[in-house]
Structure 1
Amino acid sequence: MSGLPDSYFTYARRQAGPDHGHYPASPIRERAPVVLPGGASLALWVVVPLEFFPLNPSGQPFKAPGAMQTPYPDLRHYTTRDYGNRVGAYRLLKLFARLGLRATFAVQGAVAERYPGLIRDVLFDGHDICAHGWDTDSLHHSTLAEAVENSYITRTLDAIEAASGQRVTGWLSPARAEGFATPARLAAQGIRWFADWAHDELPTRFQTSAGELISMPLSNELDDWQILITYTRPEHEWLAQVTDAADWLAAEAVRLNSPRVLTLTVRPYVSGLPYRIKALGNSLQTVLNRPGTSVLSPDDLLRAVSV
């Protein structure tokens, strides 16, 4: 009668609500108001992935966004990605310094191992770092052996610690891909928060068999790769979309008497290009000029965890 295949109903957690036990159904209008540091009504969180793209990716279980496309050796795409870490990242650092903006740089283990100077420069400028998996060809998924996935996590954390002197406690999976067991394995290795799930616009408590994580809101839809590359929209439209999002969230914060979080993911090899950096700067400046807007770090957001 439902029109759905019988297999739909064999999933063990098929139930009312979100079909899993990590967090309860919790419509935004039913929640108690939260308070952000400084009383901000709109928080801006900018995430900059520092990625390494192997020249000969296996592409398993799928190719990550930005992976090589043409027959080996795909030097056109490989060198463009390398440009991001050599040039684009420093262009972003200069922009952030001009704006007084503190970002979170999501660092892959291979980047920390190959470009430790870049990690030191990011920290010297006062930015936060979190882990971003080993590289873009070491994706997390449910058919990955436990020992292999744990090695990806440990190897990544070790490499970042060697380059930075920090044992980071935040995580963003490569390509935002993960398996059913990934959150618990992250929690078991000391990760406090992760940003793979896009189910909210406020931090939420996320239960795993190895303890609690905090799921940080990180939009897929305002990601520079998504807008500029996947949707092939021009830069001025991205500026308009960011502005529209800020306007809507700020108004919603007033209506719900609870702050909102605007998140942007910007990649050095995408937004760090000379013909895009101006649009990014205009987008960020427009948001920062709004009354009641603050740039917040993951630690700031952890202090305002929603249910």
Structure 2
Amino acid sequence: MEQRIEEAARPRREVPAPPGLSRGAPVPWWVKLGMKLSLAAIGVHGGRARALGLARPSFDAATPAKLVEVPRAWLDRAEALIGRRPRTMLEIGPGGMVVRAPVLAGLGLRRVWFADPADSAPAGLAPYRAAAELARSQGLPAPDLAGCRDRGTALARCGASLLIGGPSALASIPDGAVDLVVSEAVLEHVRRDDMAPLLQQLRRVTAPDGIGLHGIDFQDHLGGGLQHLRFSDQFWASPLVGRAGIYVNRLGLSAMVGRFRRAGFEVTVAEAVVWERRPAGPRKPHPEATRPVADDLVARALIEVRPG
């Protein structure tokens, strides 16, 4: 079984990892770890850390590339794979990118769901109106958000809903209602115990001819290496590490592919960003973090999944 899973995880295309991938600030990984844990211990994490300028997304959510070009590429790829334009979409873990709702409506999606374990989307209307204006400037018929009283009415005008919570939050989506499921650097953050319930829900809501496009990071968040493999599960899965924003589930590519397959999906690894040699990390990983050697060379991957 393990050999079949590893064969299924073989990428169709490999891209060399660029030097300094996800390196971040030029300080030792253990300094970053200590700082993040210390701040989390005194309650400075998540939205509070972002408000103080101590944490920020790795991208600018207001750029045309993120707001328009990325979802357009998703829809084009989905159309190429399923032979029709998607009408409905679910994004897992969008964070602040919920502001794309007017753009997605302008691209022709009739119904959109955003699902996130916590609400980190902008509450004010200004970002949504700016996104709608950007979409219209690029020729997309985005909804007019004039007269919307709050975020909820703005999302409703775009045919969008924001679902907050774990896998059970997807229960309100009808069976087979979603043509396209997407996630960007999200699935690596899902707790291992939540992976099976989440993937079961994704299998339930995906249309019979639907498609899932998932970009997944496999490196640590301490400098873009494998330092996260040196710790026990008891420490790494602790609430403190979670609050510090550095938790990733440490599943390698083959394990991630295996979990999708067990949930009833057919999986294609469309592309993998790979290191030429094993990056910085423990010479011998903790026994609870051991995984196939080939997985340690995969920094990122794009997988395409469809109901089996």
TM-score normalised to structure 1 length: 0.31
Higher-strand-fraction structure: 2
Q: TM-score by structure 2 length?
A: 0.31
